């Protein structure tokens, strides 16, 4: 809510699926590609969080209630933690002429849960910042999947981590479903790429570069991957709502953990987890299309989920859109990952772009502690 007016950003944000494909070619390993969300259920495997260990500070806990196969109810106490925390400097400036300093501390609202799936732990941390940005950070820890290893064995697809013990190379690829609603449901998705201009009369010194925008008009054109060479990002905008300068209000999706699945599209991994082949998918919002690998990934043939949702190549302009972002990391195991893996991180960031009239954190009051202003 801004100035008493409700301004929606996202109707629903959720983890739609994840896959852990292994790259080892041994018969005992080659089939492994666990769909940890669709097969095990992250709610069913949620931890009961402990104050002072999983969450620190003044917190609100929520229980998670699950429906079991037989129709009974299972409740996990304190499965969700909500709290605020300091997040360093929000903004600062020192006037070089007068020496006057203005600095404001930032805070963020944290909504978190942790699930244990087999030997791995996944922490899901949603951060809501005073500047309007929204971040999902997934924290990966737990114990590696291992196999036996004999001296002299080929280690092309694994790393030795202890005598006679090796851990295969693998990936963790997540897909989030973002039912967008930037100032309403008439949204478009724009791809933004930056490139250097050819040296010439418009660029005599060879220093010019600029960002260009491309409208993604249908589902096929919106199957996109990241590009560090062009600093690629995506923008969701409402062309019917404008800011004080007349530009559409929007939010940027800034990718950071950009791994896509190495397994081929016709492999068992690729057939069941086709969503992991692209970092971006966009569909018209259909409430029954909720899971990136389909409703029942262990009971379906190939091509369900996003490959099937997008088969008709529907229009995605000026409509209620759902943005699906696949991201993750490739785990080429280190000796230091054993016996319990130090936390690794994957996620993405969304930031306002013309959604507000100015820095929304500009009116944060100065800190009452210390002498920092």
Catalytically annotated residues: 36, 120
Residue 217 φ then ψ, to 5°: -95, -25
* β-strands 120-129, 59-67 pairing: unpaired
- 192 forms bridges with which residues in the sheet? 213, 233
∠ Cα 190 196 201 (to 5°): 120
- 284 forms bridges with which residues in the sheet? 321
Q: How many beta carbons lie within 10 A of that of residue 360, not counting itself?
A: 16
Q: How many beta carbons lie within 10 A of that of residue 214, not counting itself?
A: 12
Listing DSSP states for 77-129 in one string gives EEEEEEEEEEEEEEEEEE-TTT--EEEEEEEEEEEEEEEEETTEEEEEEEEEE
- 64 forms bridges with which residues in the sheet? 76
Distance CA 190, CA 203 (A): 26
Q: Which helix (H) or strand (E) holds 193?
A: strand 187-196
Q: Is 307 in a helix, a strand, or coil? A: helix
Judge whether 141 and 341 are in contact, CB under 8 Å.
yes
Measure CA of the first residue to CA of the last residue in the chain; give whole Å.
29
Inter-CA distances, 1 with 5, 349, 359, Å: 5, 21, 16
Listing DSSP states for 11-74 in one string gives EEEEEEEEEEEB---STTTTT-EE-IIIII-TTTTB----BTTTB-SSEEEEEEEEE-TTS-EE
Q: How many beta carbons lie within 10 A of that of residue 302, not counting itself?
A: 13
């Amino acid at each position: 809510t801004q100035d008493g007016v409700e301004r929606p950003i996202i109707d629903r944000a959720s983890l739609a699926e994840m896959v852990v494909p292994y790259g080892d070619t041994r018969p005992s390993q080659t089939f492994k590609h666990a769909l940890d969300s669709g097969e095990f259920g992250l709610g069913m495997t949620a931890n009961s969080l402990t104050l002072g260990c999983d969450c620190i500070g003044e917190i609100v806990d929520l229980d998670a209630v699950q429906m079991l196969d037989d129709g009974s109810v299972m409740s996990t106490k304190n499965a969700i933690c909500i709290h605020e925390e300091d997040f360093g400097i929000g903004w600062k400036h020192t006037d070089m002429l007068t020496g006057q300093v203005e600095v404001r501390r930032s805070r963020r609202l944290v909504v978190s849960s942790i699930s244990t799936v087999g030997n791995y732990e996944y922490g899901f941390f949603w951060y809501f910042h005073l500047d309007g940005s929204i971040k999902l950070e997934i924290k990966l820890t737990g114990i590696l999947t291992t196999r036996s290893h004999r001296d002299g064995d080929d280690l092309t697809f694994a790393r030795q981590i202890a005598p006679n013990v090796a851990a295969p190379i693998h990936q963790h690829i997540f897909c989030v479903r973002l039912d967008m609603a930037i100032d309403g449901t008439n949204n478009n998705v724009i791809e933004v790429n930056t490139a250097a201009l050819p040296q010439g009369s418009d660029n005599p010194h060879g220093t010019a570069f600029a960002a260009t925008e491309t409208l993604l008009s249908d589902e096929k054109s919106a199957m996109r991957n990241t590009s560090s060479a062009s600093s690629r990002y995506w923008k969701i905008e409402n062309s019917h709502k404008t800011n004080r300068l007349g530009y559409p209000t929007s939010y940027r999706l800034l990718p950071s953990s950009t791994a896509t699945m190495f397994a081929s599209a016709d492999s068992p991994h690729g057939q069941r987890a086709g969503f992991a082949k692209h970092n971006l998918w966009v569909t018209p919002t259909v409430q029954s299309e909720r899971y990136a690998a389909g409703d029942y990934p262990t009971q379906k043939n190939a091509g369900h989920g996003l490959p099937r949702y997008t088969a008709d190549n529907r229009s995605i302009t000026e409509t209620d859109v759902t943005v699906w972002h696949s991201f993750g990391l490739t785990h080429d195991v280190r000796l230091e990952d054993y016996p319990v893996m130090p936390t690794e991180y994957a996620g993405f960031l969304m930031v306002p772009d013309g959604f507000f009239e100015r820095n929304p954190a500009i009116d944060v009051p100065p800190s009452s502690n210390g002498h920092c202003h």
